[in-house]
Each structure stands twice: as C-alpha cells, then as structure tokens.
Amino acid sequence: MKNWIGVILAAGKGKRMNSGISKPLHEMCGKPLIKYTVDTLIKSGISNIIVIVSPTNHDAIKQLLSTRVRYVIQEEALGTGHALLQCSNLVADGPTNLMVTGCDSPLLRHQTLTALSRIHVEESAYVSILTAKITGPTDLGIIKRDGYGNVYRIVETHKSKNADSAKEVNSGTYCFDSNWITSTLTNLRQSNVGEYYLTDSVESACKNENTIASLVTKYPEECLGINNRIQLAHMERILRQRIREKWMLRGVTMLDPNSTFIDSEAWIGKDSIMYPNTYIHGKSKIGSNCTVGPGSFIKDSTIGDSSIIISSFVQGSILEDHVTIGPFSHLRPGSYIERKVHIGNFGEIKESRLGEGVKMGHFGYVGDTTVGAHSNLGAGLVTCNFDGRKKHKTQIGEKVFIGSDTILVAPVSIGDNATTGAGSVITKNVPAYRLAIGVPAKIKEKPTE
C-alpha cells in the first residue's frame, strides 16, 4: 500500500515485565515481540515502517531490526499521543494514511490490518479503530458508542465499571489521516499524570464531526497486549496452538500436541511425526517423513528427509537425509552430518563433519574432526582437540575402523582403511591401510585377511 506508513509504538518502559530486557525484545515462540508486529505490517502490504523507541532501548531494537524500519526516539515518556507526534516530520507531505499499533500484540493477523485499512479508505475516515468484544476483567480501554452505534469515546480501564461484564475494548491499533492526526496531537491536553493519550484523539474527532470508523475483530485475542509475564505466557499458549494446528493441517503428526513445542519460524515437512516432549526451536527445518522425539530438542538446525532423532539435542547443525541420532546424543553447533550416518546413544559431536554412512553406535566425543565416508567409530572414542590454549583438528579417512576406547590426540590424521586397536592412544599420524595399537600407539602392518 503506497499511501500508507506503519508506526509501531515501542518506547514504553514496560515496568510490569520486571525485567532488564526491554519489553519489545522479550521472545514469544522464539521470536521477539516487535518482530511479530513488523512482519504483520509487511504482510498487510505496509513496508514503510517507523518504530518509536526510547533512549534506553533504541540501540538494541536497531540491532535487531537493522534497516528494515526507520527509528524515532521519544526522549521523554509523555504518553502515546506524544510518541506519535515525534514522527510528524517523517510523515509530513508523505503518504496520506498511518497504521499505528503497539509492539506487544503478536496475535494480530495481517488479514485484520488489511480489513481495517480498507474500511478506513472506503469510509474516508479520519480515524479508524480495531476493537474486540470480550467478557471479564481487562486493562484495555473501553469503547463507547452513541445511540446510532458510532464510536465517540475511549475510556481508560481504571475509569470503567462492571469489570466482569461483556464489553467492547480498544486494541490499540488505529488508522489515521496523517495530516489530521498531526494537527490534532498538537492540541491534546495533558492528563492528570502529565501524559498525552492517543485515545483522546477519538473524542476530539467526535466533537469536530470528523468521521470515525471501526472494525470489530472476530478473534478477540488479537486485541490482547502484553504487560507482564502472566500475559506473555497466556498469549504464548494461544500462539503455540495456532502453530501446531497449522502444521497438523499440512500433514504433520503430533502424538500429544500439547507437549509439542514449535517456534514460529520453524518448518516441518509432511508425514513427519513429532513425539511428546519435543521442542523445535528457532529457525529449524525438519524434512519430510522424519521422526523426532520423544524428548528431543532441535534448535536452529536443518534435518534432512527420513531422519530419526530420538531423545537427543541437536543445536546449530545440519543433518542430511536418512540420518539416525540417539537416544541421548548431543550435536553441538557446527556439526554437519552426511546422509545415512548413524549416531547411537550418548554420542557428542562438535564442529565436525561425518561423511556418508559413518557409524558411531555408542558413547564417545568427536570434536573439530572430519570423518570420511563409511568409517566405524568404536565405543568410547575421544578426540582430544584442546590443549588448554588452542583447538586442534583431527582427520579420519574413509573406511577407517576406530577401536573401542581409542583416544586421538590432535592434531592427528588417520589414513583411509586404517585401524586402531582397542584402548590405543594415537599421538602420531597413521598412514592408510595401517594398524595403530598400544599406548602410545605403534604403527604396524594390518594383518592380511
């Protein structure tokens, strides 16, 4: 929408979060709150976005969003009306309409913003408000309508009565005629606590007979904001259910959906099965026909098709197709596992690449290592890659057989088709087709078969 600017109010102190982290940066389903708002505006067709920040959270928000948006600093916390007024010079002589929303409404849908903007234009409104009908206590403003059903005022919650009755509430999302709202904000009166409220612009529009439009959302949760950790947890439950339903409708099986946790930016292929107590975090991508869990944790990793991850941790790693991991193994960041690799119970891999068909069936540690295709890593293998000052590399060739309890003291390389005896300590390079055995290992010719 070329004639629109999106404005996100993110300068509030968020005191009720009781946190050293600015509220817009708190995460929900693995994604900072403010990113939900930015992404929703963009999906609705508004790419020209201004974020109102405070002096204390400006740097952190800019680091997160970079050049996707423009920034305006509200030097003094004088309310939402004062915050919007700070960007008046950026909207002057520009697009004719503003979409204004908060940074703490992650359940807001882009379809709803599109519908609100359409009503705003069709009715030639000066201000349009997104509202919802709810029952029960709320800290949202209450919408007041006249006998003809027209909005004429928004009453702050502390002034309203009948907290447990049905009511129509303000979402904090508005559309404004940009020239009108800039003029109106300069004439707002301070509240008794010294702030200028954006909601007071509605009453001003009514008094001057300016057109006020509204949209009542069918999904009341869209209007919910986050002011404390309880509300954050409540909304996260709602969003996680949305995410689960999306993937189940796309062909993913979840044996116990309520114990399956999937972040908003994760992706899962069809015909994959998620067992209970499974966590898919960050921007993880799970292929088709995979089995994950029970009790698996996948973070910022790519899992190829037809792979199995049983009761294991996979972080910052890439797995190709037909890989099996676990139970109780840990792939640390930087691991690359090629197709048809098997890592059994209690294996730990770190900053290493395991070639196609490698087998590591039992407990062991492989760090800063390259393993060639079809090698067999025996139980108890340890790569000693750290000397107290520097990490060192280990290279294991193709079709190598590493005997149980072998210790490889890096830097060291094992040639193709070589073998190490059980319990050996390898401190020197082992040529291809040789046998290394003993402590320290001695290199011998492999027995002929």
- For the annotated catalytic residues, the residue numbers are 362
CB atoms within 10 A of CB 436: 28
> Vertex 229, ends 227 and 235: CA angle to 5°?
80
Q: What is the dihedral of CA 40, 224, 217, 114, to 10 degrees?
A: -20
User: Following DSSP, what letter does each residue of 320-353 receive, concatenated?
Assistant: -TT-EE-SS-EE-TT-EE-TT-EE-TTEEEES-E
Nearest one of 285, 287, 275 to 312, comparing CA atoms: 275
Residue 346 buriedness (CB in 10 A; 0-12 / 13-18 / 19+): middle
- Specify the 3-state DSSP secondary structure of 73: strand
- Specify the 3-state DSSP secondary structure of 224: coil
The length of the chain, given as a count of residues: 449
> Vertex 392, ends 391 and 397: CA angle to 5°?
140
**8 Å CB contact between 383 and 408:** yes
Nearest one of 386, 384, 421, 419 to 406, comparing CA atoms: 421
